[in-house]
Amino acid sequence: MKLAEGGFNRTFLITMHDGFEMVARIPYPITVPEFYAVASEVATMRFLRSSGLPVPEVYGYSPSSDNAAKTEYIFMEFVRGTKLSDVWLELEEPDIVSILRQLAQLESRMMSIPFPAGGSLYYTNDLEKKVTGRTSIPLDDERFCVGPDARLHMWYGRRSQLDVDRGPCTPLSAFSFAELIETIDENAEAVLVAAARKELAYLEQFGRPLLPFQRERREAYGYKEQSPSDHTKNLERYLLIASPLVPKDPALHHFRIRHPDLQPSNVIVSTSPDTNQLKIVGLLDWQHASILPQFLLAGIPGRLQNYDDPVSQALTPPSLPADMDKLDQSEQSHEIGLYHRRLIHFHYIKNTEEYNKHHHDALSDPVSMFMYRLFDQAGAPWEGETHALKATLVEATETWGRLAGEGVPCPVTFEPEDLRETKELSAKLQVADENFEGCRGMVDFETETWVSNEHYERAMALAELLKLTVLTAIPEEEVRAKTEANWFLNDMDEKDYM
């Protein structure tokens, strides 16, 4: 029975004649990195399970398609329970607080495990079968090692063809696990530059002018193709600026692991018969997990954060409006949703503060959070836009003294006209993004315009109505034609962006 189709895998529930159940997960043929994605996920799951984390047991796997099934696969435990996403919006505050406390405790446990290098986790014998030469760093348990970084953007599209350094990132002068732990501070900088150098190599070999991938933003660029040389220039600026912005606290340099996609759909909960409270019994989907310095792992998981809200930013304890009973139904619904988002954000931070000190230290450190954002932008695949990276670099130059410390010269400067144009584009893109969010609310789609099967027909009808309404409101024929040709919900060939 098919359980799910995700962005990278199909998942099936297999039931044996004796009633035994297990999950089979098969990656799509286009899932990257080949071999490394499955090999790393299996090693990560088994290592973390042996460390006491509620991770499904792996029964068997093949990281290559050289087998009878002609595909990579993982056979794993079927964790009984309910996806947190199925009940998240229905939970009362005590259950929400309890779940977030458990998440903070589990994150503390996994983020307390020391690693000798940056990259991803593997079985040593799997890597020995795949590659030759010194491409791994053993753990104390020498069955496991740190090898190449399996994060998706290091291999996305034609990047998998590049001969670039994907790790493990570690000082060459250290040879034992103990020596590596002692010299690890030197190597946070190596991690900072690896993904950017990968992207520079991609642009040099494959880069060509492209319209922005996010079609709702193309109007802000005048529907003009953007040159990869602009992004190359900003990546070079990033390489100049990264080293001085490594956080001063050496504890934040230590290599740690964290769930790569901690969202409610990857958390399985079950009601405890002893306490009648929800308990986390499974953390699913460890594909593309990586080991990074603590400050580059910092952040509230995307589905749990509410950073755009001033109340959440101030960590003000959330509450419903005093005049809630005077609001109409739609206003009450809005306030309940806002209260729920604020509640999750607030209690995630508070429980992290209590149970996961090093992560909270990173969350509270402005330099760590700034570098987390800058690092993510510099390593992201170029998709016809460099503005996010450039705007953050501009922010770095404007707040340099606070970020790097007084007396440290900033290695990057921008001309006044360049700054003016960058800020004008920021304003245009903000409008485009707000319009996009409005459209998302009308059609009710999720990330990458995903909708459920049950909602698909209705969403398609709403999308067509939205398109017709927008086009009808545009009087100029040329503008209307460009809007229609670049409509953000049209089918699209993505190969040029791979």
pLDDT at residue number 3: 83
Cβ(118)–Cβ(169) below 8 Å: yes
pLDDT at residue number 186: 53
- pLDDT at 269 > cutoff 50: yes
| Residue range 75-81: mean pLDDT, rounded | 97
Can you read off the two tokens belonging to residue 52? 């006491």
Q: How confident is the model at residue 273 (pLDDT cuts 50, 70, 90)?
A: confident
pLDDT at residue number 272: 85
Contacts of 337 (CB under 8 A, 6+ apart): none
pLDDT at residue number 427: 97
pLDDT at residue number 174: 39
* Secondary structure (3-state) at 122: strand
Q: Residue 51: which of 109, 6, 96 has the closest Cα?
A: 109
Can you read off the two tokens belonging to residue 395? 């922010």
CA distances (Å), origin 23, targets 1, 33, 77, 331:
10, 22, 6, 43
pTM, to two decimals = 0.91
Q: How confident is the model at residue 249 (pLDDT cuts 50, 70, 90)?
A: confident
- In percent, the amount of the chain with pLDDT more than 90 equals 81
| 413-437 confidence digits (pLDDT tens) | 999 999 999 999 999 999 999 999 9
- pLDDT at 297 > cutoff 50: yes
Domain ranges of the chain: 2-257, 428-498
CA distance 97 to 352: 12
pLDDT at residue number 146: 96
Cβ(444)–Cβ(462) below 8 Å: yes
pLDDT at residue number 133: 61
Q: How confident is the model at residue 106 (pLDDT cuts 50, 70, 90)?
A: very high
| 364-386 confidence digits (pLDDT tens) | 999 999 999 999 999 999 999 99
| Residue range 267-272: mean pLDDT, rounded | 94
Contacts of 61 (CB under 8 A, 6+ apart): 38, 42, 73, 74, 75
- pLDDT at 173 > cutoff 50: no
**Which of the listed ranges 24-33, 50-59, 85-94, 361-370 does the model predict with the highest average pLDDT?**
50-59
| 207-248 confidence digits (pLDDT tens) | 999 999 999 999 999 999 999 999 999 999 999 999 899 888
Judged by phi (left if over 0) then psi (alpha if -120 to 50, else beta), residue 398 lies in: alpha
| Residue range 77-102: mean pLDDT, rounded | 95
* Secondary structure (3-state) at 225: coil
Can you read off the two tokens belonging to residue 227? 């040159």
pLDDT at residue number 190: 85
Q: How confident is the model at residue 143 (pLDDT cuts 50, 70, 90)?
A: very high
CA distance 219 to 211: 10
Task: Please state which of the ranges 6-15, 122-131, 161-170, 172-181 shows the lowest mean pLDDT.
Answer: 172-181
CA distance 220 to 431: 9
Q: How do 9-15 and 58-62 pair as beta strands?
A: unpaired
Q: Residue 120: which of 287, 338, 275 has the closest Cα?
A: 287
pLDDT at residue number 2: 82
- pLDDT at 170 > cutoff 80: no
- pLDDT at 176 > cutoff 70: no
- Dihedral angle computed from the Cα positions of residues 217, 220, 226 and 230, in that order, rounded to the nearest 10 degrees: -100
CA distance 467 to 480: 11
Q: Which helix (H) or strand (E) holds 328?
A: none
pLDDT at residue number 453: 83
Name the burial class of residue 319, with classes exposed (0-12), middle (13-18) and buried (19+) by CB atoms within 10 angstroms of its CB. Answer: exposed
Angle at 371 between CA 159 and CA 193, to 5 degrees: 40
Extended beta strands in 80-151, E state: 82-83, 120-123, 137-138, 144-147
- pLDDT at 175 > cutoff 60: no
Cβ(116)–Cβ(177) below 8 Å: yes
| 467-476 confidence digits (pLDDT tens) | 999 999 999 9
**Average pLDDT across the chain, whole number:** 92
pLDDT at residue number 132: 63
Residue with tokens 């080949």: 34
CA distance 347 to 110: 19
CA distance 396 to 123: 40
Q: Residue 199: which of 45, 376, 57 has the closest Cα?
A: 376
- In percent, the amount of the chain with pLDDT more than 70 equals 96
pLDDT at residue number 270: 96
Q: CB neighbours (10 Å) of residue 12?
A: 14
Name the burial class of residue 137, with classes exposed (0-12), middle (13-18) and buried (19+) by CB atoms within 10 angstroms of its CB. Answer: buried
CA distance 325 to 390: 47
2-257 topology per CATH: Phosphorylase Kinase; domain 1 (3.30.200)
- Dihedral angle computed from the Cα positions of residues 73, 76, 82 and 85, in that order, rounded to the nearest 10 degrees: -40
Amino acid (one-letter) located at 47: F
Task: Please state which of the ranges 310-314, 369-373, 453-457 shows the lowest mean pLDDT.
Answer: 453-457
